[in-house]
């Protein structure tokens, strides 16, 4: 990939000598759009959310740069701070928008896209009406070129290095732990939160970076075109940027550039010979969306990787360095005080009260609908609590979100196996190792890839299949995915481990394996474990204590023998009336 | 008093036309979840069918069946060739329908040219309501809009097909297991939705500027109305139209057209951000 990128950049540098300078001038514009597309691809192809108003950030960069060139056009000393602003202001604006929007809801539905679209329309309207600032409808005109650089002859040799810079930046981000976390978020955001990552901030950061890249391209667009009009922030350009990215390939580095250049030249060629060229472009676009969702470059890339022999990425020995220690959590006491949870007219938890304060295994049982999973959900911010108080280690944690609970030493395994399907086993394990360890600066360093931790060895001994590190998690069997998720949760070294039916969907042999694993990791006596379970065989093997729930309340607690002898429990399970 | 009545009438009329235009998207996006970016283009097709009818010297009312015919045909083609493959891929639906929008727009441009077209008004004159001379055609549009909305509301609640659609939305697999042909039902719903858009276009054509790019404004305001009102119900559609239409009219009256437009955008952003389920949610 790196070789391809270097060749592409070199090839682009030769263009003006092979073709004519007008062609290079045209190409320069498409390359600028391609740079914006690379930012869109970072958000859309990697992090899984589609920004629909990217022209706004491009246009802000262009307006700032245009203003600076018109005012201080002859001195780089005065220009450079403005050029930095042309990058920073869009980046910060997008970061704020992202942080506000993403923190409201998990997931990447169409609403974020519609918001960015609407914001870009506001920008268009303001650019049109704030005449004193933007020149209104006619825009900023007669913008001079960069000092000492001829717009038609040499500006191209500024644009190509700019593209190289943007490519380098995006490539670096994609390979960094931050990039891997973005991939994890796009596959299963909730799971990523339960490894202690504040996913809304990571997504906002990605959006901010993409907007900064757009602003950077916009800063060069102003001298290139000599004019900036409200069209540069408008809805139509935003849509076109997304189209170019989609046609070229939303999840590749060069796809957006190829898309912008191919459609750009296709349009300029067709425009002269065929009046209705846009129909052709629309048909090409529809065809790509339907038949090649990964775009032109994506389709080519998948063919070449299929032709090549599968490379064994023997990265098992990349983990050489002991990971930095986590903050030790020594809490043991979990207290539920009179918790009420209600959704609509249904009382889910109805004054639930219990407490746990020993480092052993507690099983939570009860008939279907008793509210067992809701106990976990209430504890990890997934269900709103109407009344009552949850305490962990003596402090109230009522209403805290999933990632905050993980940071307080609470690990959770979901009922349905949730792992990052498109990441390899080894990449899944990375994320578990990074959990509660990765600091902000580590997001952009390569050193976290070399981290290992003592518990990894233990986990691999218990689950040998984890050593086949380059297999995709999505290709594992249901049982193995359950075990992978369990292993990942264990690797966060929680003080309180919540397991929701860990043996669901497992074969008898796998169930025994899982029970053995749970026993093994609890043998050290440094963890409180709560297991929701229906299978009494599992309960009898594992439980030091049993809590029985019915209709959102605690019905009984005690040892397995106590519970079995309890007439109230017998009544609930025996089908008798309460 | 008369001024007040005039504002009132304009307000009610504004809401009714908005509701009329949104109706098609409410069906396609609200029920099927298809983010149909070509919604405005179907409205535009409906408006151009008036042009065709009048070009042939035929009576205006014939443009309604023609609009349904054209939109039905195009809608069927689009559903069959693209949408049915994309029901589970929302972003790709958005892109594909955007491509369709460009295609329709450009094709119309090829046939009719880029410029504005004028459509003759056949129902002319005014009617005296509450002491105001109100344009008669606006009343026609109002009556048609209300009839259509109310009729559809009752039909959707009472008919078997309405129940089947609800079943399909709630659980497509189970609906299939119950013997509902969901592929055909979804296609029917989609085609019905775009036909409604066409009908709306034919109705409003004499009152607006008719040109190939007219759909864009209708598309975005329709999305915002649905988001503000809430998806999947006619109550939501009505509330959304009132809020968006009301804000636009009120702010435009106090300040200017641009401020009204900005206010609508800001309200839409706030709803998308803070209350994406809208004012009147299905659940």
Residue A149 lies in a domain: yes
Contact A283 B223 (CB under 8 A): no
Residue A90: inside a domain: yes
Quote the percentage of chain A above a pLDDT of 90.
42
Average pLDDT value over all residues in chain B:
88
Higher pLDDT: B81 or A1? It is B81
Q: Who among B82, B106, B227 is closest to A276 (CB)?
A: B106
Predicted pLDDT at A386: 87
Name the pairing type of β-strands A361-365 and A528-532: parallel
- Give the nearest chain B residue to A97 (CA atoms): B273
Structure tokens at B141: 């549009």
Domain boundaries of chain B, sorted by first residue: 2-274
Cα separation, B22 vs B218, whole angstroms:
8
Does residue A154 belong to the interface with chain B, where contact is any CB pair within 8 Å?
Answer: no
Banded pLDDT at A370 (limits 50, 70, 90): confident
Query: Any CB–CB contact under 8 A between B252 and chain A?
Result: no
Q: What share of chain B is helix, strand, coil (3-state, %, to 5)?
A: 75, 5, 20
Query: Residue A108 has what pLDDT?
Result: 64
The first and second tokens of residue A331, run together, are: 């809490």
Q: Is residue A220 part of a domain?
A: yes
User: Do A226 and A350 have their domain in common?
Assistant: no
Residues B74 and B80: beta-carbon distance below 8 Å? no
Chain B nearest CA to A292, separation (Å): 11
Best of B91, B107, B223 to disrupt the A interface (most A CBs within 10 Å) is B91
**Token pair listed for A554:** 């605690």
| Beta-carbon separation of B102 and A285 below 8 A | yes
Q: Is A339 in the same domain as A207?
A: no
A500 in helix, strand or coil?
Answer: strand
On the question of pLDDT at B92 being above 90, the answer is no
Predicted confidence band of residue A576 (pLDDT cuts 50, 70, 90): very low
pLDDT at A316: 56
What are the C-alpha distances in Å from A221 to residues A26, A135, A217?
A: 12, 17, 6
Residues 6 or more apart whose Cβ sits within 8 Å of residue A405:
A379, A380, A381, A392, A397, A412
Chain A residues with CB-CB distance to B107 below 8 A: 279
Alpha carbon dihedral A91, A93, A94, A95, in 10-degree steps, equals 80
Task: Compute CA B37 distance to the chain's CA centroid, rounded to the nearest angstrom.
Answer: 12
The three-state (H, E, C) secondary structure of A226-294, written as one string: CCECHHHHCHHHHHHHHHHHHHHCCCCCCHHHHHHHHHHHHHHHHHHHCCCHHHHHHHHHHHHHHHCCC
Q: Between A and B, how many CB-CB pairs are < 8 A? A: 92
Q: Does A451 score more than 60 pLDDT?
A: yes
Read off the pLDDT of each residue in A561-570 and give the average, rounded to a whole number: 86
The predicted structure's pLDDT at residue A310: 45
The answer to whether residues A59 and A216 touch, using CB atoms and an 8 Å cutoff, is: no
Report the C-alpha gap between A24 and A29 in whole angstroms. 9
ipTM (interface predicted TM): 0.86
Q: Which of these, A178, A182, A218, lies nearest to A90 by C-alpha position?
A: A218
| Residue written as token pair 């038609």 | A152
Residue A455 domain-assigned (yes or no): yes
Tell me the CATH architecture of domain B2-274: Orthogonal Bundle (1.10)
Of B107, B110, B272, the CB nearest to A111: B272
The per-residue pLDDT for range A246-304, each reduced to its tens digit, is: 999 988 899 999 999 998 888 888 877 777 777 888 888 888 888 888 888 888 887 77
Q: Is the pLDDT of residue A312 over 60?
A: no
User: Is A274 touching B (CB cutoff 8 A)?
Assistant: no
| B227 within 8 A of B239, measured Cβ to Cβ | no
Q: Do A114 and B94 touch (CB under 8 A)?
A: no
Q: Return residues 42-71 of B near A (CB < 8 Å).
A: none
- Written as six digits, the tokens of A312 are 């064994």
Q: Tell me: the pLDDT tens digits for A201-211?
A: 999 999 999 99
A110 vs B35: CB contact, 8 Å cut-off?
yes
Percent pLDDT > 70 in chain A is 97
pLDDT band of A320, cuts 50, 70, 90: confident
**DSSP readout, B46-91?**
HHHHHHHHHHTT--GGGHHHHHHHHHHHHHHHHIIIIIHHHTT-HH
Instruction: Establish if B112 touches chain A: CB-CB under 8 angstroms.
Output: no
In a domain, A318, yes or no: no
> Is the Cβ pair B82, A285 closer than 8 Å?
no
Q: Is the pLDDT of residue A529 over 70?
A: yes
Residue A136 lies in a domain: yes
Structure tokens at B142: 């109002």
| Minimum-distance CB partner of B273 among A101, A122, A129 | A101
pLDDT band, residue B281 (cuts 50/70/90): low
Token pair, residue A214, equals 């757009």
Q: Which residues of A touch B97 (CB under 8 A)?
A: none
- pLDDT at residue B108 greater than cutoff 80: yes
Q: Give B176 to chain A, closest Cα distance, Å.
A: 25
Rounded CA-CA distance A458/A487 in Å is 10
A125/B90 touch (CB, cutoff 8 Å), yes or no: no
pLDDT in tens, B264-278: 999 999 988 888 887
Q: Which of A65-79, A311-325, B112-126, B181-195 has the lowest mean pLDDT?
A: A311-325
Question: Which B residues, 147 through 186, put their C-beta within 8 Å of a C-beta on chain A?
Answer: none
Q: Are residues A497 and A361 in the same domain?
A: yes
Q: What distance in Å separates residue A246's CA from the closest CA in chain B?
A: 8
How much of chain B exceeds pLDDT 70, in percent? 99
Contact list, A129 vs chain B (CB under 8 Å):
258
Q: Based on the domain organization, do A357 and A222 belong to the same domain? A: no
The A residues from 34 to 63 touching B (CB cutoff 8 Å) are 44, 50
Measure CB to CB from residue A125 to each of B216, B261, B272 and give the nearest one: B261
Do A150 and A156 touch, CB atoms closer than 8 A? no
pLDDT at position A1: 66
Task: Give the rounded distance of the alpha carbon of A181 from its chain centre.
Answer: 6
One domain, residues A222 and A350: no
Residue A104 to residue B91, Cβ atoms within 8 A: no
Range of the domain at A376: 334-574
As a whole number, mean pLDDT of residues B7-35 equals: 87
Q: Chain A: nearest CA to B283, how far in angstroms?
A: 9
- Enumerate long-range contacts of A124-130, CB under 8 Å, 24 or more apart: A124/A230, A124/A233, A124/A234, A124/A235, A125/B258, A125/B261, A125/B262, A125/B265, A126/B262, A127/A59, A127/A63, A127/A229, A127/A230, A127/A232, A127/A233, A128/A230, A128/B258, A129/B258
Q: Residue B96 and residue A289: Cβ atoms within 8 Å?
A: yes
Q: Is residue A315 one of the residues assigned to a domain? A: no
Residues A167 and A5 sit within 8 Å (Cβ to Cβ): yes
Final residue of a domain: which of A234, A262, A280?
A: A234
What's the rounded Cα separation, in Å, for the pair A85 and A92?
A: 10
The DSSP letter of residue A302 is H
Record the tokens describing residue A99, joined without a space: 């942080």
CB atoms within 10 A of CB A526: 12
Distance CA A518, CA A516 (A): 6
Q: In the predicted model, what is the mean pLDDT of residues A113-142?
A: 90
Instruction: State yes or no: pLDDT of A39 exceeds 90.
Output: yes
**Residue A311 pLDDT > 60:** no
In A, residues 362-391, which contact B (CB 8 Å cutoff)?
none
**A549 φ, ψ (degrees, to nearest 5):** -110, 150
Q: What pLDDT band is residue A577 in, cutting at 50, 70 and 90?
A: very low
Last residue of a domain, one of A182, A211, A234: A234
Of A559, A555, A544, which is closest to residue A354 (Cα–Cα)?
Answer: A555
Q: Does a structural domain hold residue A396?
A: yes
Q: Which residue matches tokens 């497509």?
A: B172
Q: How far apart are CA B210 and CA B201, in angstroms?
A: 9
Residue B156 phi, psi (nearest 5): -65, -35
Q: Are A216 and A87 in contact (CB under 8 A)?
A: yes
Looking at residue A313, its pLDDT comes to: 47
User: Do the Cβ atoms of B102 and A282 come within 8 Å?
Assistant: yes
Tokens read off for A542: 């594992």
A78 and A187, same structural domain? yes
Q: Please check whether residue A504 is in contact with residue A415, taking contact to mean a CB–CB distance below 8 angstroms.
A: yes
Res. B123: pLDDT tops 80: no
Burial of A439 from C-beta contacts in 10 A (0-12 / 13-18 / 19+): exposed
A573 pLDDT above the threshold of 80: no
pLDDT at A315: 57
Residue A461 confidence (pLDDT) above 70:
yes
Q: Report d(CA A425, CA B169) in Å as an integer.
A: 36
Q: What is the mean pLDDT of residues A363-389?
A: 87
Of A175, A206, A234, which residue sits at a domain end? A234
Average of per-residue pLDDT across A213-236: 94
Spatial CA neighbour of B21 closest among B175, B167, B240: B240
Of B102, B103, B265, the CB nearest to A121: B265
DSSP structure class, residue A367: S
Closest partner CB to A290 (pick from B85, B103, B107): B85
Q: Which single residue is written with the structure tokens 């918790």?
A: A339
Chain A contact present for B190, CB below 8 A: no
* A125 to B102: CB separation less than 8 angstroms, yes or no: no
Task: Kindly indicate the confidence band of residue A42, based on its pLDDT and cuts at 50, 70 and 90.
Answer: very high
CA nearest neighbour of B273 among A207, A234, A123, A102: A102
Instruction: Using an 8 Å CB-CB cutoff, list chain A residues near B106.
Output: 276, 278-279, 282
- H-type helices in A73-155, by residue range? 76-102, 110-129, 131-134
Average pLDDT, chain A: 88
Asked if the Cβ–Cβ distance from B269 to A100 is below 8 Å, we say no
The CATH number given to whatever domain includes residue A410 is 3.40.50.300
A114 shares contact with chain B (CB less than 8 Å): yes
Instruction: Output the six-digit token pair for A145.
Output: 């070129």
For A145-163, what is each residue's pLDDT tens digit?
888 888 888 899 999 999 9
Which residue in B92, B103, B274 is closest to A283 by CB distance? B103
Cβ contacts of A304 within 8 Å, gap of 6 or more? none
Within an 8 Å CB–CB cutoff, is residue A279 touching chain B? yes
Q: Which residue of B has its CA nearest to A293?
A: B92
Would you give the distance in Å from CA A98 to the centre of its chain? 12
For chain A, the domain total comes to 2
H or E stretch covering A554: strand A553-558
| Whole-Å CA distances, A242 to A239, A440, B178, B259 | 5, 30, 40, 28
């Amino acid at each position: 990939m790196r070789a391809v990128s270097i060749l592409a950049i070199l090839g682009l540098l030769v263009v003006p000598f092979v073709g004519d300078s007008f062609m290079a001038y045209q190409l320069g514009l498409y390359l600028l759009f391609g740079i914006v597309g690379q930012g869109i691809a970072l958000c859309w192809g990697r992090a899984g959310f589609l920004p629909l108003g990217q022209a706004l950030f491009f246009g802000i960069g262009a307006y700032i740069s245009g203003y600076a060139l018109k005012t201080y056009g002859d001195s780089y000393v005065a220009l450079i701070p403005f050029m930095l602003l042309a990058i920073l202001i869009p980046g910060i604006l997008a970061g704020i928008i992202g942080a506000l929007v993403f923190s409201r809801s998990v997931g990447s539905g169409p609403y974020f896209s519609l918001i960015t679209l609407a914001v870009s329309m506001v920008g268009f309207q303001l650019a049109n009406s704030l005449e004193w600032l933007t020149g209104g409808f006619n825009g900023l005109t007669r913008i001079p070129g960069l000092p000492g650089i001829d717009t038609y002859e040499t500006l191209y040799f500024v644009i190509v290095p700019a593209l190289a810079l943007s490519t380098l930046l995006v490539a670096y981000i994609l390979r960094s732990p931050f990039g891997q976390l973005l991939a994890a978020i796009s596959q299963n955001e909730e799971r990523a939160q339960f490894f202690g990552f504040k996913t809304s901030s990571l997504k906002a950061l990605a959006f901010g970076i993409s907007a900064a890249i757009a602003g950077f391209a916009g800063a060069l667009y102003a001298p290139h075109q000599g004019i900036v009009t409200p069209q540069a922030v408008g809805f139509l350009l935003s849509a076109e940027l997304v189209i170019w990215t989609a046609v070229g390939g939303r999840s590749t580095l060069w796809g957006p550039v190829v898309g912008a250049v191919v459609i750009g030249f296709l349009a300029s060629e067709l425009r002269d010979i065929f009046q209705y060229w846009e129909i052709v472009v629309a048909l090409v676009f529809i065809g790509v969306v339907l038949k090649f969702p990964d775009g032109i470059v994506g389709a080519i890339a998948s063919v070449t990787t299929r032709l090549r022999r599968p490379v064994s990425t023997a990265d098992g020995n990349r983990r050489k360095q002991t990971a930095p220690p986590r903050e030790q959590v020594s809490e043991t006491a979990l207290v539920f005080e009179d918790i009420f949870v209600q959704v609509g007219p249904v009382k889910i938890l109805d004054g639930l009260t219990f407490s746990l304060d020993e480092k052993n295994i507690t099983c939570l049982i009860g008939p279907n609908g008793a509210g067992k999973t809701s106990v976990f959900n209430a504890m990890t911010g997934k269900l709103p609590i109407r009344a009552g108080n949850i305490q962990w280690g003596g402090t109230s944690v009522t209403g805290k979100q999933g990632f905050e609970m993980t940071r307080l030493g609470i690990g959770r395994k979901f009922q349905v196996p949730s792992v990052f399907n498109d990441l390899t086993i080894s990449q899944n394990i990375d994320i578990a190792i990074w959990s509660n360890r990765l600091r902000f600066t580590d997001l952009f360093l390569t050193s976290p890839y070399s981290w290992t931790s003592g518990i990894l060895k233990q986990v691999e001994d218990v689950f040998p299949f984890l050593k086949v590190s380059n297999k995709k998690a999505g290709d594992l069997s249901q049982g193995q995915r359950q075990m992978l998720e369990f292993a990942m949760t264990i690797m966060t070294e929680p003080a309180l481990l919540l397991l929701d039916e860990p043996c669901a969907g497992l074969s008898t042999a796998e169930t025994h394996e899982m029970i053995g694993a749970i026993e093994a990791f609890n043998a050290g006596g440094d963890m409180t474990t709560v297991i929701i379970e229906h299978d009494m065989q599992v309960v009898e093997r594992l439980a030091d204590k049993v809590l029985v729930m019915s209709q959102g309340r605690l019905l009984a607690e005690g040892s397995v023998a106590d519970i079995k002898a309890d007439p109230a429990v017998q009544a609930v399970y025996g089908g008798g009336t309460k | 008093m008369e001024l007040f009545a005039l504002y009132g009438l304009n307000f009610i009329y504004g809401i009714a036309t908005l509701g009329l235009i949104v109706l098609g998207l409410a069906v396609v996006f609200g029920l099927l979840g298809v983010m149909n970016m070509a919604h405005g283009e179907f409205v535009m097709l409906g408006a151009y069918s008036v042009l065709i009818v009048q070009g042939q010297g035929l009576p205006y009312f014939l443009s309604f069946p023609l609009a349904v015919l054209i939109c039905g045909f195009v809608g069927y083609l689009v559903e069959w060739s693209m949408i049915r493959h994309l029901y589970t891929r929302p972003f790709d639906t958005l892109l594909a329908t955007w491509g369709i929008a460009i295609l329709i727009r450009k094709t119309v441009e090829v046939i009719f040219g880029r410029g504005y077209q004028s459509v003759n008004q056949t129902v002319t004159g005014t009617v005296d309501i509450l002491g105001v001379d109100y344009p008669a055609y606006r009343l026609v549009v109002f009556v048609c809009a209300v009839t259509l909305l109310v009729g559809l509301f009752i039909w959707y609640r009472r008919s078997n097909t309405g129940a089947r659609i609800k079943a399909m939305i709630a659980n497509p697999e189970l609906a299939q297991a119950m013997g509902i042909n969901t592929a055909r039902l979804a296609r029917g719903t989609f085609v019905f939705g775009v036909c409604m858009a066409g009908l709306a276009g034919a109705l409003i054509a004499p009152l607006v500027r008719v040109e190939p790019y007219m759909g864009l404004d209708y598309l975005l305001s329709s999305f915002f109305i649905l988001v503000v009102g809430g998806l999947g119900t006619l109550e939501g559609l009505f509330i959304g139209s009132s809020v968006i239409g009301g804000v636009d009219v009120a702010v435009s009256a106090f300040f200017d057209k641009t401020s009204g437009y900005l206010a609508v955008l800001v309200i839409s952003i706030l709803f998308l951000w803070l209350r994406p389920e809208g004012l009147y949610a299905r659940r």
